[in-house]
Copies of this chain bind each other. A is one copy, B any other.
Amino acid sequence: MTTDLVTFGETMLRLSPPRGNRLETAETLRFSTAGAESNVAIAASRLGADTVWLSKLPSTALGRRVVTDVRRHGVTPEIVWTDANRQGAYFLEHGGDPRGTSVIYDRRDAAVTTATPDELPTEAVEDATYYYTSGITPALSDQLRETSRVLLEFAHSAGVTTVFDVNYRSKLWTPDEARTALDSLLPYIDVLVVAERDARTVFGLDGSASSIARQLDETHGFETVLVTRGDDGVVAVADGTVTEQGAFETETFDPIGTGDAFVGGYLASRIRGDALEDALEQGAATAALKRTLDGDLAVVTQQEVDRVRAQSDGGINR
């Protein structure tokens, strides 16, 4: 049986005080789980794709929690369990301007940082149509730098379309470290997703988003390059053609996970055979819906995505 999409990466506990409250004083935290690669798998799964998420987790209630949450949305977890490491987490405070949203990562020694290519159940990768991972994963440990490369190479050589989101995190590594690591992965990447800002920071590129997309495409010969631009939407270059997709207006409740929702929506569309333009639009609609929701996850339906694309006015439906 082939799988539409396999992703590999870390999923963390997410712990967040109520709005207007602080980690210094809150009595309760909202508790969920999140990670770029499972976020993408969940968004795609909810929009019809058959998805698998690979990872390594501690064999505790915390590791099981991650599995429980991923399964809830139809993703099949394929897990290496270990007694030797811990479960990563992140603490999140939402704050209006000028305070801003702040994140404390607590990922050190997470079980996934020790995941080797040998122990991971790579059969799922071989049979997949798409394989996705992000630049967060190689940033987590030397082992994961190696494992990311091996899995991408493996998928690429098996004819799987590989998708990679740069997702640069300044709290995990420097631009130089990221550049060096990504250089070793780029040969195996078919679809590159990169935020315009990250393209400037990590790859040192200049110019407009479409110019950046073209430069990346020309240098590395990707199947598709997607340069995401936040409120300004996304620019795609494929076969030398530039396609632009705006962002849908949205009342943001929680911005975390927007990029992953975009990729998940995009991939679900591609998986069902939609054209690039349609996939970009679905990605943008999925991302817009995600921003209305608490948590990293795009807990959306195809019907909702379609309604956004049809420019529904967002009024009360009763």
Contacts and interface: CB of A to CB of B under 8 A. Distances in A.
Contacts of A105: 318
Nearest to A66: B24
Interface stretch (A179-187, A221-229, A262-270, A309-317): A309-317
Given A87-B106, A108-B109, A255-B316, A68 B24 contact: yes
- The count of identical subunits is 6
A253 B251 CA distance: 13
A149 to B, nearest CB: 24
Interface stretch (A13-21, A154-162, A208-216, A275-283): A13-21
Contact of A104 (B17, B61, B252): B61
Interface stretch (A47-55, A126-134, A286-294): A286-294
B250 A20 contact: no
A284 to B, nearest CB: 10
26 contacts: A17-B31, A20-B253, A22-B299, A23-B62, A60-B104, A61-B93, A61-B102, A62-B104, A68-B72, A86-B108, A95-B314, A96-B250, A96-B252, A97-B249, A97-B250, A98-B248, A98-B285, A98-B288, A98-B312, A99-B289, A99-B314, A100-B312, A101-B315, A102-B316, A105-B318, A169-B318
Given A64-B301, A71-B71, 16 more contacts: A22-B299, A24-B64, A25-B68, A25-B299, A27-B31, A61-B104, A71-B72, A95-B293, A95-B314, A96-B291, A97-B292, A98-B249, A98-B250, A98-B307, A100-B315, A103-B318
